[in-house]
Copies of this chain bind each other. A is one copy, B any other.
């Protein structure tokens, strides 16, 4: 078992990025990497990298850098990728179907055990070996299987009611695609949100910032020419 100390959310959010970069290095045949080089690849300082990894114990060897494969496996373990988490998906609309079709849950240590919908036209269809069941079967399924995570891809107006149903029936973690805030005070359910709009708005900020800088630059040039 990984030793657990309370680690800041910022560190936790960087772990998947480390994992992706280490996977890339490993695929490229790189076996050792220094905190300096890893930092350069990720836009982080070497000391930040050493500090992040020190949260979880001793990985590197002074002057030798990190063993890429060992560090990768350690981070994968910290992220729970070796635990065989089981997930279900609720709501097989566009996004739900896209996840079933294109997202490789098993690459990240998850098994997608079942999917549920209310639409008779969708119930019974199979994508990547997972057959869509009727929502009427959900409670029986939850009582018969140990499920770690529910992927919530229902329409926004159903989100709160379905989240409550899941919580009341023992689901402890929700991967929330509905763009509806599900975090409730005093609830112990873990909610991880995919907020498309937050991401697009951040992008808009950077675009607006660049246009303003360009406009300011052009204005300076124009003044100089007067």
Contacts and interface: CB of A to CB of B under 8 A. Distances in A.
Contact of A78 (B79, B93, B205, B210): B205
Of the candidates A12, A201, A202, the one having the most CB atoms from chain B within 10 angstroms of its own CB is: A201
A65 interface: no
Nearest to A43: B183
A197 B94 contact: no
Size range of the chain A interface in the assembly: 35 or more
Interface in A187-224: 190, 192-213, 215-216
Given A173-B207, A204-B109, A207-B190, A2 B212 contact: yes
A119 interface: no
Contacts of A216: 4
Contacts of A190: 203, 206-207, 210
What DSSP secondary structure best describes chain A's contact surface? helix
Interface stretch (A14-22, A28-36, A158-166): A14-22
Contact of A213 (B4, B13, B81, B181): B4
Interface in A61-84: 78-81, 83
A175 interface: yes
A1 interface: yes
Contacts of A17: 198
A88 interface: no
A149 interface: yes
Contacts of A172: 207, 210
A110 interface: yes
A181 B41 CA distance: 11
B93 A200 contact: no
A92 B101 CA distance: 14
Given A194-B194, A197-B16, A80 B213 contact: no
